Structures are given as structure tokens and as C-alpha cells.
Amino acid sequence: MLPRPLPRVRRRPALACAPCRVRKVKCDRNSPCGQCAQRNSDLCTYTEDGRTAINEKKSRRPKFAVATEVSRGDARPLNQPQSFGHIAGQWAPGDSTSGAETGLTERVGGSHQPHNAFLTSHKTTESPQESSASGPILGTVSKTRIFGHGHWMSTFHMAERLPKLDPITHMGLMTPEQTRNSPIPGITDVLQKCKQLARDIKSQRPSRDPLPAGIHPTFPDPAVTNHLVQIYFDSFESCLRILHFPSFRAEYEGYMKDPGTAKTSFVVILILVMSNAASLIEDAGLQQELRAKSLSWIHVAQSWVSAPVEKDRLSVDGLQIYCLLLLARQVNCVGADLVWISAGSLMRMAIQMGLHQDPDHLGGMALLQKEMRRRLWYTILELNVQAALDSGMRPMVTSDDFDTRPPLNLNDEDLDNEMQWDSSKEMSLMPTRTSFQCLLATSVLLRLESARVINALKEEPPYDRVIHLGEELATVCRNATSSIDHHKSVAKSLWPTEFPYSWCDHLHRRFLLCLHLPYAAKAAHNPINSYSSKAGLEAALYLVSLLDDEIYRRLLLVGGGMFRDILTSGAMLVFLELITQLENESSAFVKKRNQARREPLLEDARNLVQYAQDRLWYGETNVKSYVFVNMAMGQVDAILSNSSTKDAIVKSASESLVVCHGILRSTAANLLSRVTMDTNVACGIGGDAVAMPSIDDIDFDFMNDGNMDFGLAGSWFVRQWEDKA
């Protein structure tokens, strides 16, 4: 039985002196305190807030498993309506917003929230919670960044006999009387003038506002924008918690009233939200129009991220933009195969900001600050491990590299309140809009380890280890399915569509499929791998069943990266199972007798062929998947009809290439007409409008492209089927 959640501790008045609060170090409350005395600082002052100091020591939370942290819930009733307003109350742009609503940057710490630093590692592969009861971490603080002793800023406090920079670094905390009595008179005025001149100089740099002047006219109508925002929060935010809805809503309403006053970072966030949601629009014509704009929006966001890195972008906004960008690239198939490279940069950015350290180790923070840091860290971990699986590379992060606890199972509205935990009630079964991220967090270490085993380059892991990992992943998938079923029965109105359930299941099961795939492919010749054949096929069929979800299918039709593995991995096992069954049936009588049992698998195979063709109509330019499944289907049909499998394979390849040629030619012609129209529109916006592709950018020589390399004798999938023929 899981331990009950501990009651939340009330916020207490600040007890440390002002310099210790800035440095986030322990203060002994002396006058001067030990920290200030060690640094020969004369700035040791205490804030008078009229409250009685409390000398009780802060109790530390005991060690407990990941599932305990995930089981936390809120006591709020689940009565959420199915609309955009169900995220945080009914609203529409233009409605009055409370004056207390501020941007997330200010509320979560912005670019000026100091944190402590340096890595506190643990030596086991247990969950991060097992070591999170350790004390404060070591290092140096500078605004949003944390440093180890190798950074130059850490050296200033090491030499006791040299002058200190405290009079300058703490100048903003000095009272007017302290300023007048300062040993360096007039330093405040000169320091402020220097800072202002530095800001003026930096403001002239081109990377300060790189957005094209014509970006706003490319936005759709407000009603469509509202719908896209609603779709995004009802779908992708279910598993990847990137945005805090109340804060987003406040900035969104301000943007709709006066776009010119919006921060550049928010505009980038908004275009990425729309880029992610565009593929899920039901109207086919509107979807095509928005997806075409999304390509330009993604390039604008990529330019913002790729501009010379500046310290003011090491913020919550910067992390959110990076996460949304990596997701949008996969959703819209823009460099989706290279997301793992960018995910590494995002991971380092988060570590530089200290997200790999649990907020409990970083000094006093509000609940909103802590939970946004935890949510973003586990979102980044999820993006990284999924991208590593797709790229065939290692995740480059282990359990020793972080100790951040999973986020609490709370809705966004609860983060704005200093809510009290009800320790008398068990909250583990209370679904919220963070439940699926909590569920994914429980298995992230196992999936990181699985990705390392799957993508090992030097040696093949022992098969018994593969079986062990497979059993653990299967247990995780069963638990995920059970949780999804529970969500559907208890909180039917929490999610208006099936998309969150399908995505959560997909993110879990694809690891089980990829783990068993190499061994399942060899099962026909090596019976010892028969377990992988069964487990891999079961995972593949689960992924194929995702095509039955109408909304999730829209994403699978256009997405790349993690959204393409039904064809790249699942299809192979489906057809291998069919061929193996048919080859083991020695007579026509046996084949006819088993026809009823085989029909569901044949139906899945036909659905895969149709799905591959539909992807081509929706913009896929790589024709290998479609040709592959057609050749496999041709072989299956040949075995069923007792005809030549080799002839059937060659015929299917030839016919499928003709179909691909026709679809790509149609797509190129439509693109040409759309480019002409968009160029005319762009000319009306102005010279700084978003750059539209020209006719020279369209490659009509697709038959000469590397994607069309079908040397049949050298293709791995052709060899596979020819061997069996």
C-alpha cells in the first residue's frame, strides 16, 4: 500500500538575511551571519515583515517510490465541460482577466530567479526520488543559471584574501541609508549607468527581435486561432506538460487585444501552438492551408532558437519554445529524423538552468515555480528518450544525471493556490490534466535504459536481458492501459477526445516493439526468439489499432519521427507473422481451415497498405514505406493463391512506384499553384514578410532522389522476402 501524501507545509516568512537569500545558502541568523562574515560583507540585513520568526527546522520529506509522488492528486471535483473553457473556466479573448494574472516568466522566475547549483549524483539506477532527500547542492548562482566550480564566477568566493564583489552584486538590496554609508560613495549611480548602457548596446544586436515584420498577417482568423489553441491543450498537453494555461491565457488575451504589445517570446509560443494543432483540424481544406503556414512558422521559430544564444533566453519561455519546436518538427515532418540532435541542446540548456536538480534543493520557491520546473524537465526527458529511439542513438542521460522528482498530480489552476493536502483521503486515483505525464514519469528510467539497449552499437545485449527488459516494459504497458481505462471511466469529461489516451499508449508501447523487433525478425530461423516474435507482434498490433482513432490518425498521416513507427517497425512484424503462418500451412485444406483465424491479421495488413498510401497524399515524400508494404502484401497474396512469390513481389514494386509517381506529381502541381498564390499574398504584406518558397525550391526530380533508390538486390526488405520466396 502506498504511503499517504504528507500535508503541504504553509509558506513561512523569510528568515535568512538578504545576501543569503540571493545566494540561496543557509543563514545562521546571526548579525552578521556566518556567510556574510566569511565574505567580509557589510550588507547583512534582515527584512522586517512584522511576523514572529519561527526557529523550527524544516522537516525533510522521507524517501519514497515514484508511484507515491505520482499518486498525489487534488481534492477538486472533476466537473470539467468539453470546451476550451474546461481547461480553466469558460473564457474567450476579450473577456476580463483578473489583474493578478501575470506572465509565466514573472511568476515562475523569469530570467532573474536565482537558483543554487551543481550535480548531486546517486550511484543506483533507482528513481530520482530515492536520493532527493539530500541537502542543498553546491555551486554558484547567477540569475537563471547554475555553475560548478569550473565556471569563472565560482572563483570569486574562493580566495579569502582578495577583494570581494559583494558591494556590487548586492547593490540592489541596499537601503538608501546603507548606500549613503557605503565605503564606496557614488557607486550606485555609476553602476546603474553602466548597466543601462550595456542594455542599450545589447538592444542594437539583430538577434534581439528576429521575427519578420509580416508574421502577424499570416495568422488565421481569431475564431480559428481560438480553435487551434483549444485543440492543442486538449491533445498534446496531455502527455507533454509545457505550458501553464492560466498564464498562457492572460498573455493570449493581451495579444488578441493589441498584438503589437505582445512579447516576442509569446508570439513564437503562439505560432508553435498553432503549428502543432494544425494537423488535427477536421476541415481538410483548412488543415492543408494551416499546415502550409506551419512550415513557415516553424522556420521562424527555428531562427529565433538558432540565433546567437543570449542569457535572457535561458528562461522558462526559452525552454517552452524549444520543447514546442521539437514537437512541431515531428508533427509537421520538418527535419523529424534529426530531432535527437536538437534534443541534446535542449537538455543542456535545461541542465544549465538547474532543472535536473529538484526544486526542493534550490531554496524557497512557490508551488507554481517548483511544478513548472518539474513538468518541463520530464517533458524534456520524454522528448529526448523518444527522439533517441527514433534516431538509433543513445539518450545520453542516465539516472545519475538528475534527481528531479516527477511533477505532482495537479491541474494548472491548483498551482495558483496555496492548497492544503488532505492527508485523510487517498488521492492516487484522482485523474487530472497532469496524470499522463506522471504516468510516463514512472517509467522514464526504464525506457531510457531500454533505448540504450536497443541502440547499442558495439555489442548485442544478452537475450536474457532483453527478455527481462521486455517483461518490465510489458508490465509498464499493462499499468498504462489500466490507468487509461480508469481515466475513461472516472473522468469522462476531462479529455473531450480519445487523442490523449492513444498518445499515452503509443509513447509506452513503441519501446516494447523496438526492443523485440530484431529478435522477432529472426524467430523463424531461431526458435529461441519466439518470445520476441509474440511480444513484438502484440505491440505492433496495438500500434496499428491506433489508426482507428480518427483524430490521432490525422497526426499519424502527417507526422514524422515518433509518429511514423507503425510503418517503419510495426508493418514488418505484421507481414512476417502472416508469411510465417502461411508457410507453416502445408496444404490448401489447412489454409482454408485457418482462414477465419487469419482474417483479422490480413485486415490489419490491408489497412497498413492503405495507410501508407494515405500518407503520400498527405505530403509524405519518402516512397519506400509504401513500396515496402505493397511488396509484402503481394507476397502474401501470392502464397494464398499458390502463385510465384518472386513475380508477385516484382509486380507489386512496379505498380506501387507508378502510384507513387502519380501522387507526387499531383502534390508538386498543387504546391506550385499554392506557391504562386502565397507569393502574391506575401508581396502585399511587405518586404519583411515571411519568406515564401519559390519555384526554384521545388524539386521535381523526385525519381532521382535518394528516396527512390530501389536496388532490389541490395534492399534489406526485398532480400527478406526473396529469401522466404
Residues 519-535: tens digit of each pLDDT: 999 988 888 999 999 99
Average pLDDT over residues 204-231: 85
Are residues 330 and 560 in contact, defined by beta-carbon separation less than 8 angstroms?
yes
Residue 420 pLDDT = 46
Q: Which grid coordinates are listed for 142?
A: 547567477
Average pLDDT over residues 222-226: 96
Query: Cα(168)–Cα(190) distance, rounded to whole angstroms?
Result: 11
Residue 101 pLDDT = 40
- Name the more confident of 485 and 361: 485
Residue 46 pLDDT = 76
Do residue 241 and residue 385 come from a single domain? Answer: yes
Residue 112 pLDDT = 36
Average pLDDT over residues 58-72: 36
Residue 134 reports pLDDT greater than 90: no
Residue 586 pLDDT = 66
Neighbours of 194 (CB within 10 A): 10
Lowest model confidence (mean pLDDT) among 185-199, 263-277, 335-349, 369-383: 185-199
Residue 72 reports pLDDT greater than 50: no
Residue 665 reports pLDDT greater than 90: yes
End-to-end CA distance of the chain: 55
Residue 232 pLDDT = 98
pLDDT tier, 551 (very low <50, low <70, confident <90, very high otherwise):
very high
Residue 114 pLDDT = 35
Do residue 516 and residue 451 come from a single domain? Answer: no
Residue 199 located in a structural domain: no
Do residue 717 and residue 568 come from a single domain? Answer: yes
pLDDT tier, 161 (very low <50, low <70, confident <90, very high otherwise):
low
SS3 labels along 382-437: HHHHHHHHHHCCCCCCCHHHCCCCCCCCCCHHHHCCCCCCCCCCCCCCCCCCCHHH
- Name the more confident of 647 and 95: 647
Do residue 383 and residue 248 come from a single domain? Answer: yes
Of 512, 524, 511, 375, the residue nearest 438 (C-alpha) = 375
- Name the more confident of 707 and 333: 333
Residue 164 reports pLDDT greater than 80: no
Residue 612 reports pLDDT greater than 80: yes
Residue 465 pLDDT = 95
Residue 428 pLDDT = 52
Lowest model confidence (mean pLDDT) among 129-133, 292-296, 474-478, 492-496: 129-133
pLDDT tier, 511 (very low <50, low <70, confident <90, very high otherwise):
very high
| Residue ending a domain, choose from 443, 459, 475 | 459
Residue 545 pLDDT = 96
Number of domains in the chain: 2
Do residue 595 and residue 554 come from a single domain? Answer: yes
Do residue 451 and residue 498 come from a single domain? Answer: no
Residue 172 reports pLDDT greater than 50: yes
Q: Is 140 helix (H, G, I), strand (E, B) or coil?
A: strand
- Per DSSP, the residues of 310-370 read -GGGSSHHHHHHHHHHHHHHHHTTSSGGGHHHHHHHHHHHHHHTTTTS-GGGSS---HHHH
Do residue 293 and residue 368 come from a single domain? Answer: yes
Residues ≥6 apart with Cβ < 8 Å to 339:
326, 329, 330, 383, 387, 390, 391, 561
Do residue 227 and residue 346 come from a single domain? Answer: yes
Residue 139 pLDDT = 59
Are residues 334 and 298 in contact, defined by beta-carbon separation less than 8 angstroms?
yes
pLDDT tens digits, one per residue of 236-251 = 999 999 999 999 999 9
Residue 80 reports pLDDT greater than 60: no
Do residue 440 and residue 584 come from a single domain? Answer: no
Residue 62 located in a structural domain: no
Residue 178 pLDDT = 60
- Name the more confident of 112 and 461: 461
Do residue 511 and residue 651 come from a single domain? Answer: yes
Lowest model confidence (mean pLDDT) among 111-120, 265-274, 305-314: 111-120
Residue 674 reports pLDDT greater than 50: yes
Residue 435 reports pLDDT greater than 80: yes
Do residue 263 and residue 338 come from a single domain? Answer: yes
Residue 687 located in a structural domain: no
Residue 660 reports pLDDT greater than 70: yes
Average pLDDT over residues 105-130: 39
Do residue 444 and residue 500 come from a single domain? Answer: no
User: Which residue's C-alpha cell is 509524405?
Assistant: 620
pLDDT tens digits, one per residue of 404-423 = 999 999 999 888 765 544 43
Residue 576 reports pLDDT greater than 60: yes
- Name the more confident of 48 and 314: 314
Average pLDDT over residues 115-143: 45
Residue 51 located in a structural domain: no
Tell me which residue range forms the domain holding 376.
Answer: 220-417+430-459
Residue 701 pLDDT = 41
Residue 477 located in a structural domain: no
Residue 236 located in a structural domain: yes
Q: Which grid coordinates are listed for 205?
A: 544586436
pLDDT tens digits, one per residue of 334-387 = 999 899 999 999 999 999 999 999 998 887 788 899 999 999 999 999 999 999
- Mean pLDDT (the chain, rounded): 77
Distances in whole angstroms, Cα of residue 441 to Cα of each of 245, 342, 374, 507: 21, 21, 10, 12
pLDDT tens digits, one per residue of 690-705 = 343 333 333 334 334 4
- Name the more confident of 225 and 92: 225
Residue 110 reports pLDDT greater than 60: no
Residues ≥6 apart with Cβ < 8 Å to 716:
none
What number of CA atoms fall less than 13 Å from residue 472's CA on the CB side? 15
- Name the more confident of 711 and 403: 403
